[in-house]
Chains A and B, each alone.
Chain A
Amino acid sequence: NAGVTQTPKFRILKIGQSMTLQCTQDMNHNYMYWYRQDPGMGLKLIYYSVGAGITDKGEVPNGYNVSRSTTEDFPLRLELAAPSQTSVYFCASSYRNSPLHFGNGTRLTVT
């Protein structure tokens, strides 16, 4: 049982490039989330999903897109990377209202 797995662990992007942050969970959780954490700050919710085929915006969705075609996977897409998107990205999952399980993050730098 690996829990929540995020790839890659680190990435450097040039301004305007695009990439997909991968997140997969093997706990059969129906809820999945993407958060970002800027240095010295708390986490902010980007997008969440309550089940396959259903996604919704969180607090800071601009510049990102998500999809949820399976229960296990919840990728986060950055289309035109900007320096303001330099952050650590955490994916999480939960079963209904149970506590969240987090991955170990993807550290993204946009230069």
Chain B
Amino acid sequence: DAKTTQPTSMDCAEGRAANLPCNHSTISGNEYVYWYRQIHSQGPQYIIHGLKNNETNEMASLIITEDRKSSTLILPHATLRDTAVYYCIVRVANNAGNMLTFGGGTRLMVKP
């Protein structure tokens, strides 16, 4: 699986957009980009995933560059409840299961 690089921590003002970057320069053509978050030692929560097109759901948007070597997770209007560790993972979706490998992630602090 391709390795990902994320900033260790980021701050964001409440109500503003939070843009979380992720580099995955060795990503293969059949690897998806997944984002999860973990709020205060709870189990990780799935946010969004994509292959090469930008994706949006009720929680966030995922922007993947054309060369697929990096992506950005966007929380459009961050709230205090979005304070969490955000994990960017790249993985082939195959029949052996989504054996996702979690790195250190980005600790996002949303401030009033």
A interface residue numbers (CB < 8 A to B): 4, 31, 33, 35, 41-45, 48, 50, 58-59, 88, 90, 92, 94, 96-105
- Whether the Cβ atoms of B43 and A104 lie closer than 8 Å is yes
Nearest B residue to A99 by beta-carbon distance?
Answer: B46
Q: Mark B40-62, 1 if CB is under 8 A from A, else 0.
A: 01111110010000000000000
- Whether the Cβ atoms of A101 and B42 lie closer than 8 Å is no
| Interface of chain B: mostly helix, strand, loop or mixed | loop
Inter-chain residue pair count (beta carbon < 8 A): 61
Most buried by B among A43, A48, A92, A103: A43
- Whether the Cβ atoms of A102 and B95 lie closer than 8 Å is no
- Whether the Cβ atoms of A105 and B42 lie closer than 8 Å is yes
How many residues of B are counted as interface, with CB atoms below 8 angstroms from the partner's CB atoms? Answer: 23
Nearest B residue to A58 by beta-carbon distance?
Answer: B99
Residues of A contacting B96 with CB < 8 Å?
50
17 contacts between A and B (CB under 8 A): A4-B43, A31-B97, A33-B97, A42-B87, A43-B44, A45-B100, A48-B97, A50-B96, A59-B101, A90-B43, A94-B97, A97-B93, A99-B46, A100-B36, A100-B46, A103-B43, A104-B42
Known: A48-B97, A97-B98. A42 touches B105 (CB 8 A): yes
Nearest B residue to A45 by beta-carbon distance?
Answer: B99
The answer for the CA separation of A99 and B101 in the assembled complex, in Å, is 13
